Amino acid sequence: MLKVIYLAKDNIYINENDRIVKKEFSYEKGIATAVLSYENILNLTFKLSKNIEKDMLEIEAEKYVFTEGSLDYSKDYKINYYFKEFEDYINVEAFTVETEKLKKEFEEYLKIYKYIDFISVKPFVFQEYYELSKTNPKNDIFIYFTRDEAFLSCFENGEFVFVKSISKLSALAKQLDKSIDECMEILTVKGLDESAYDDENEFKNVESFFSQFFMKVNNLANYSTSYYGLSKIDRIFFYSSFEIKNLYENYTDFWNLSGIEFKKYELATDYDAFDYTAVFYNSRHYKNENENFSIFPKPESFYKTKTGVLTILILLGILFIGYDTYAKYKVIQNQQNRIFVLKKKIARKSREERLLGIAVKKLKKENLNLINSNKALEKQIGDVSDKIIYLDNIRKNPLTANILSDLINGLKKYNLKLLSFEKDGTHINLLIVSGFDNSSNVAEFMKYLYKSGYKNIYSAKIDNKKGVYISEVSYDE
């Protein structure tokens, strides 16, 4: 009977024929599996030409990863690639982790389990949600928010698209000058319920954190629609290992403004929802080597290995050919092994020189592009001031329409700049500029418009231009 063991933080889950049992951490015989934290992974997203032959895809991807990821050639890495074809290019999601980090993350497990057969990556695990919940896939974002880690994972009709890091709980702990455990207690007991706070500043810090948190999510949702060609994001599922009071009451309407359903990540189980999902995911994917990050698998039976086959042949050679022939064979084999090792060393040095050459050329080109981009951006933002002055003059005119007065007041209140203003009947389109330090004010500006009585408020596109955010906001009178 097939038994798959999932090694969680303090427990193990045993899956036998889709029946799950949770136990204290102890040794069980079976297929041992685990999940790898996303924070230990270097994740790079890039494009490759569709003209590259399939056999060369991983080689070209490795060149990019070693160059752009500034990997150390003296260290060992485990690298897995996720390729997705588009009309004009192949998109690559590369997941790289140092083998030393793998050893460190799983060292406690390896004290009990000598081998771990399969290690998945947390962002991929959410794919199993659709099967477990009997929910039809759409364009979905899954947010993972725990004590030590935070990321979002995007799926298009059930297929993985990308993963990105988002603000961690440690950032809020720093704002509140509290420990992470104290921070978790504040969120569980008080959360986003303003009436539960005695300290007004404490609530404002919590509210500000989540405002910026979901603004980043909104930026990434818009990024996915432009970069990956998704029509829109339909749903956001929020998973947390602890409760956050009033989270859904405060942000359901915010996401509804953008036509996105905001839901709690939950399943029909008494176990932790993510661990429960991971048990099934690993049980159904442990044979997929393209997703396996384990460097601790059980060794193959000796007679199945190349060494085992060779040993059997050698023994037969000794029996039927004689010791003299065997000795000559060993001399030849040793020479061939030395030649093979030297060839590998030469090939590695050659590849390193080639990659370094590519890196130098790319850095020079990027430096030139950065200089040109900054000049263009400075000119673009400089032109904004004239438009602001013009609109401000309109505001001072007693005949000014309420809509323009509301717009100017809102922009000034949230320290935003107007890049363009278009009005078509009752529909208004704005391009708004904000800095890295006040990007969350765009969301506050949208709330301001909503409270002022405007309808169909929507942020369709947000671009990050070297630390400056350009947001497209539309609404109706």
42 shares its domain with 173 = yes
32-42: per-residue pLDDT in tens?
Answer: 999 999 999 99
Residues 426/477, Cβ–Cβ less than 8 Å: yes
270 shares its domain with 401 = no
266 shares its domain with 165 = yes
319-368: per-residue pLDDT in tens?
Answer: 555 545 555 555 665 665 556 556 555 655 666 566 666 656 666 666 67
Straight-line distance from the first to the last Cα atom of the chain, in angstroms, rounded to the nearest whole number: 65
Confidence at 298, pLDDT banded by 50, 70, 90: confident
Residues 74/99, Cβ–Cβ less than 8 Å: no
pLDDT at position 325 is 55
Confidence at 178, pLDDT banded by 50, 70, 90: very high
Could you give the maximum distance between any two Cα atoms of the chain, in Å?
Answer: 110
CATH at 153? 3.30.420.40
**pLDDT average, residue stretch 372-390:** 55
100 shares its domain with 231 = yes
Residue 37 has which token pair? 């934290």
* Contact residues for 386 (Cβ-Cβ < 8 A; gap 6+): none
Residue 378 has pLDDT above 60, yes or no: no
52 shares its domain with 176 = yes
**pLDDT average, residue stretch 363-389:** 59
Q: How many domains does the chain have?
A: 2
pLDDT at position 360 is 64
18 shares its domain with 165 = yes
Residues 92/61, Cβ–Cβ less than 8 Å: yes
261 shares its domain with 144 = yes
71, part of any domain: yes
Total length of the chain: 477
385 shares its domain with 286 = no
Identify which has the larger pLDDT, 301 or 269: 269
223, part of any domain: yes
**Which of 271, 291, 311 delimits the end of a domain?**
291
**pLDDT average, residue stretch 417-435:** 82
**pLDDT average, residue stretch 42-49:** 93
pLDDT at position 396 is 44
pLDDT at position 386 is 47
Question: 54 exposed, middle or buried (CB, 10 Å; 0-12, 13-18, 19+)?
Answer: exposed
Residue 307 has pLDDT above 70, yes or no: no
Strand 468-476 and strand 427-435: the pairing is antiparallel
Q: Which of 233-242, 249-258, 298-307, 410-419 has the lowest mean pLDDT?
A: 298-307
359, part of any domain: no
Identify which has the larger pLDDT, 10 or 359: 10
| Residue that has been written with the tokens 């839901």 in this structure | 263
**Which of 291, 326, 356 delimits the end of a domain?**
291
323, part of any domain: no
Q: Which of 56-70, 187-201, 236-250, 399-413 has the lowest mean pLDDT?
A: 399-413
pLDDT at position 302 is 45
CATH at 408? 3.30.1360.100
368, part of any domain: no
What one-letter code names the amino acid at 342?
L
* Contact residues for 212 (Cβ-Cβ < 8 A; gap 6+): 167, 439, 440
Q: Which domain, by its residues, includes 185?
A: 3-291
62-117: per-residue pLDDT in tens?
Answer: 889 988 888 888 888 999 999 998 888 999 999 999 999 999 999 999 999 999 99
94 shares its domain with 199 = yes
- Measured between alpha carbons, how far is 169 from 180 in angstroms, rounded to an integer? 7
**pLDDT average, residue stretch 178-185:** 96
Query: Can you say how many angstroms the Cα of residue 38 is from the centroid of all Cα atoms in its chain?
Result: 7
275 shares its domain with 386 = no
Residue 444 has which token pair? 């506050």
* Contact residues for 269 (Cβ-Cβ < 8 A; gap 6+): 20, 276
334, part of any domain: no
284 shares its domain with 385 = no
Strand 139-145 and strand 235-240: the pairing is parallel
350, part of any domain: no
**Which of 261, 291, 321 delimits the end of a domain?**
291
105-114: per-residue pLDDT in tens?
Answer: 999 999 999 9
156 shares its domain with 16 = yes
Percent of the chain with pLDDT over 90: 49
